[in-house]
Amino acid sequence: MEISMNDSTSQQNPLAGHFRTAALYLELPSRGENYPAGSIVLPENGEVAIFPMTAKDEIALNTPDALMSGSATAQVIESCVPAIKDGFSVPTIDIDPLLIAIRIASSGEKMDFTNVCPKCEEENTYEVDLRNLLDDYGYVDFSEPLELNGLSIYFQPQVFRELNKLGLKAFNEQRALSVLENKNLSDDEKMEQFQTYLKTVSVVSIDITAGFIKKIVMTDGTEVIDRNHIYEFITNSNTKTYKVIEDKIMEFGEFTKSKPIGVQCRQCQHQYQTPIEFEASNFFG
């Protein structure tokens, strides 16, 4: 009997038994909260399945443009964590744990990392058990507001899309500094370009700060949730108010970082603490 194309594709692939399977399960630090509607399908037990990376995922992580735009990281998260439907909408408190879990699923529990001793500047290579790093992350409570000048400011975790803006901000800052060192430009040209980059960095910084604010409740009970209104509030706040809000955001940021690990230099025996970065560009290399 002749089988049509539609019939053949609807049949189960005889190689399905050799497809990748979930390697571990992870309870998200966010507990699935603060995800936009439709961007995650959280199982009842709160644990998401983590699958190993595919060859397509590895290619994406080796594509500079995809890394710069953040699309590579978002793609890998969506591919390896099927419960997450939109990698750009993942709250930042989940990003590092997800990357660590994907690394474990793809390459095993142990990872080598290189670090330079701050005392003798010797380069050392250490082995880390990534399972221990996962234990550093816990639930972050965003329910308590910041009371400031008669306003109750409620926060929310930054999402990966906004985190990526922060990376682009740092890139623009570096470009701004390089302009000043460009000997092929006149002083007027340098200043003009520098001011352009500086303006871009300023706008992004305010945008990122506003993105952390979920809503602002006034004394009469009025709830301000409009993103444009919140952005305008941040833009027109005095420096003292802006600093208090930034300090609160920095407090939340401390909860999203893994704890530094203790190491000892093999050359001079100096003991010190060092952080481990989880940038997709080098973490999966």
Cβ atoms within 10 Å, residue 21: 10
Q: Determine the average pLDDT of the residues in 16-42.
A: 93
User: Does 165 map to a domain?
Assistant: yes
- Looking at the structure of the chain, the number of domains it has is 2
Are 196 and 185 contacting, i.e. CB atoms less than 8 angstroms apart?
no
Task: Please give the model's pTM, rounded to 2 decimal places.
Answer: 0.78
229/115 same-domain check: no
Q: Which of 71, 100, 132 is the last residue of a domain?
A: 132
- Containing domain of residue 53, as a range? 5-132
> Is residue 208 over pLDDT 90?
no
109/201 same-domain check: no
DSSP labels, 185-230: S-HHHHHHHHHHHHHHHHHHHHHHHHHTEEEEE-TTS-EE--HHHH
102/171 same-domain check: no
In angstroms, rounded to a whole number, what is the distance separating the alpha carbons of residues 106 and 170?
30
Assign 80 a pLDDT band (cuts: 50, 70, 90): very high
96/165 same-domain check: no
> Is residue 103 over pLDDT 90?
yes
β-partners of residue 50 are 24
Quick one: tokens of 56?
A: 């397509």
124/21 same-domain check: yes
pLDDT tens for each residue of 255-278: 767 788 899 999 999 999 988 876
> Is residue 127 over pLDDT 80?
yes
